[in-house]
Amino acid sequence: GAVVSQHPSWVICKSGTSVKIECRSLDFQATTMFWYRQFPKQSLMLMATSNEGSKATYEQGVEKDKFLINHASLTLSTLTVTSAHPEDSSFYICSAFPGDRGPEAFFGQGTRLTVV
Amino acid sequence: GIQVEQSPPDLILQEGANSTLRCNFSDSVNNLQWFHQNPWGQLINLFYIPSGTKQNGRLSATTVATERYSLLYISSSQTTDSGVYFCAAMEYGNKLVFGAGTILRVKS
């Protein structure tokens, strides 16, 4: 399978600060990556589609100014949670499709964000 | 958009027992995947199975695309099988839509 890596695995930040989460495809190039959010005991909900070299596409109800996405290269997408508040505390997971190596999506290990 | 429903929501098994998890989806799909989320949150790919049957060790999966459902079979369950099992179907734009998951607990 393909390898998708996220960093950091967990982070604690103070209210009002910003946090950046990185998602890397280690052994393939990804023109598109996806960011999901998962609250405790709930399913994964798609937040946005990250597109290399262009603007991200956000799902309905997701604030684009709060969740900044940058996909500056074919192997890296970043999600920045700006002016974080306790209600932003969640598990954030990215995914990508390796494309020519098959139709499956592969996921990073996730980032657990706690805002205090 | 596509709707994905999973059942049962919770399942408790004695070690060694077999189980069947079900996933219903509301529209035809050309991508359906099963995942196991371990206690640390990592999603482990189990099967890519838009149709047909696949087996991998003690796990197997069957998707009947014409009837819009998929089944995941776990045989001879082990405590390490515990966790949350998700199915996900793809809609437009390569977006995966996840079901609510089945929480499996295997007791020794």
> What residues of chain B lie within 8 A of the CB of A97, using their CB?
94
H or E element, residue A44: strand A44-51
Q: Percentage of chain A with pLDDT > 70?
A: 99
Phi, psi (deg, nearest 5) at residue B48 = -105, 115
DSSP B65: G
> What residues of chain B lie within 8 A of the CB of A103, using their CB?
31, 48
Cis amide prior to B9 (ω within 30 degrees): no
| CB-based burial label for B49 (10 Å; 0-12, 13-18, 19+) | buried
> What residues of chain B lie within 8 A of the CB of A110, using their CB?
40-43
Q: For A71-81, write each residue's pLDDT tens digit.
A: 989 999 999 99
- Contact (Cβ atoms closer than 8 angstroms) between residue B34 and residue B89: no
Cis amide prior to B8 (ω within 30 degrees): yes
Q: What is the pLDDT of residue A86?
A: 97
Residue that has been written with the tokens 């995966």 in this structure: B96
Sign of the Cα torsion A93, A115, B38, B65 reads negative
- pLDDT-derived band at A34 (thresholds 50, 70, 90) equals very high
Q: Which of A49, A104, A106 sits opposite B95 (nearest CB)?
A: A49
Q: Percentage of chain A with pLDDT > 90?
A: 86
Q: What is the pLDDT of residue A98?
A: 86
Q: Flag if A107 and B93 touch (Cβ within 8 Å).
A: no
pLDDT at A102 over 80: no
- pLDDT-derived band at A42 (thresholds 50, 70, 90) equals very high
CA angle A103, A107, A112 (to 5 degrees): 165
Q: What is the pLDDT of residue B30?
A: 82
Q: What is the pLDDT of residue B69?
A: 97
Rounded CA gap, A36 and A42, in Å? 12
Cβ neighbours for B92, distance < 8 A, ≥ 6 positions apart: none
Q: What is the pLDDT of residue A49?
A: 95
* B92–A contact, CB cutoff 8 A: no
Q: What is the pLDDT of residue B92?
A: 80
Q: Which of A46, A57, A110 sits opposite B42 (nearest CB)?
A: A110
Q: What is the pLDDT tens value at each position of chain B, 108 positions in all?
A: 899 999 999 999 999 999 999 999 998 888 999 999 998 999 999 999 999 999 999 999 999 999 999 999 999 999 999 999 999 999 888 899 999 999 999 999
Question: What's the whole-number mean pLDDT along residues A51-55?
Answer: 90
Q: What is the pLDDT of residue A2?
A: 87
Question: What's the whole-number mean pLDDT along residues A18-44?
Answer: 95
Q: What is the pLDDT of residue A64?
A: 94
pLDDT at A53 over 90: no
Q: Which two tokens stand for residue B55?
A: 């087996």
Three-state DSSP class for residue A94: strand
Nearest residue in A to B4, CA atom: A43
* B35–A contact, CB cutoff 8 A: yes
- Contact (Cβ atoms closer than 8 angstroms) between residue A58 and residue A48: yes
